[in-house]
Amino acid sequence: MTSNRYHIVPECVLRQLGDKYLLLVYPSDEDDSYALQINESFAFLLEKILNQPSFTEEEVSSLLTSQYDLSEEEARAESEKTLALWLNNGLIQLL
């Protein structure tokens, strides 16, 4: 099975305060910057992949299984859903 590789498109900053997480996204045009309040699992994934040049769906899936009590199948479904969401929101791009 060939796995797609993705990379994060804009500049992103992850901020945490207590149990709250904020993702600040800065596209090349700073005027279009936006902030998203995200949950802990989303923050965990982002923290792991933010500094990587690229990543695959399998890598995201295995990050989820290593951190949460999820079966491989559940993790795969979750990572598929998450990556589709990020792709639709312009946060990541297929390499």
Partner 1 sequence: MISLPQQCLYDLLRIALQLPRKERYRERLEALSPTQWQSLFRLSHEHLLSALVYDALTQLGDAVELPEEGSIQLMLDADRISRKARQVYRMSEKLNSDLLNNGFHHQILKGSTVASMYPKAELRAAGDIDLYIPSYEQTRLRPFLAKHYGEEKMAPDGSYHFRADEIEIDLHTRFYDLSLNPALLPEIGTPEAQILMLSSHILKHALGAGVGLRQLCDLAMANRQLSSRYNAARLEAYYRSTGTYRWNRMLHSLIRERLGEQSGVSATLEPARFASLERIVFEGGNFGHYAPSRKAQLRKSPAVRKADTLFRHIRRFPFALYYAPREYSAYLWQLFKGNISR
Residues that bind partner 1 (CB under 8 A): 13, 15-18, 20, 22, 24, 26, 35, 37
The rounded distance, in Å, linking the Cα atoms of 33 and 90 is 12
Kindly state the smallest distance separating residue 11's Cβ from partner 1, in Å.
10
The residue among 3 and 33 lying less far from partner 1, judged by its C-beta, is: 33
The residue among 28 and 71 lying less far from partner 1, judged by its C-beta, is: 28
The residue among 36 and 95 lying less far from partner 1, judged by its C-beta, is: 36
CA distances from 83 to 13, 29, 35 (A): 18, 23, 18
* DSSP 8-state class, residue 31: G
